[in-house]
Amino acid sequence: MDVHEHDALKPCPFCNSNEVKLFKTELSPRVCVTCFKCGARTNFFESASEAIDAWDKRYDNSGIGQCPFCGDRSYTGFMIGDGFQIACHHCFSVGPWCRSMAYALGRWSSYGSVVFDA
């Protein structure tokens, strides 16, 4: 695991945390930007700058089910560990880790507003 600090990263669109870092696993040379508080992340990219660009994009005209990074409305819920996350079909970013699918969907749809604890 290799984690770097990066000053330019925007706070998490889902939980507003600044615990946002570049993240790389041993399994892959690719990197993503992830929120260490809620587990939201971008897709994995070949370079750190691509991951940072993906994270820093914000789609402000939020609506139900809309991805905060690209504005797309198609997404999939999936189980991870003993919880759930939502992934965007367009940019492959992933929303916060939540204990139930209902919470995961709620947080995917309510970024930018006050979020409830999962």
For residue 15, give Cα distances in angstroms to 2, 46, 72, 107: 23, 26, 20, 9
Interactions with Zn ion, residue window 71-100 (CB under 5 A)? 72, 88, 90-91
Residue tagged 């330019």 (tokens): 8
- Residue 23 binds to Zn ion (criterion: CB under 5 A): no
Interactions with Zn ion, residue window 35-74 (CB under 5 A)? 35, 37-38, 40, 67, 69-70, 72
Hey, what's the torsion of the CAs at 28, 104, 16, 75, to 10 degrees? 60
Q: Which is nearer to Zn ion, 31 or 68 (CB)?
A: 68
Minimum gap (Å) between residue 111 Cβ and Zn ion? 9
Q: Which is nearer to Zn ion, 14 or 84 (CB)?
A: 14
From CA 89, how far away is CA 91, in angstroms rounded?
6
Minimum gap (Å) between residue 96 Cβ and Zn ion? 6
- Residue 115 binds to Zn ion (criterion: CB under 5 A): no
Short-list 53, 56, 19, 22, CA closest to 38? 19
Which residues lie near Zn ion (CB under 5 A)? 12, 14-15, 17, 35, 37-38, 40, 67, 69-70, 72, 88, 90-91
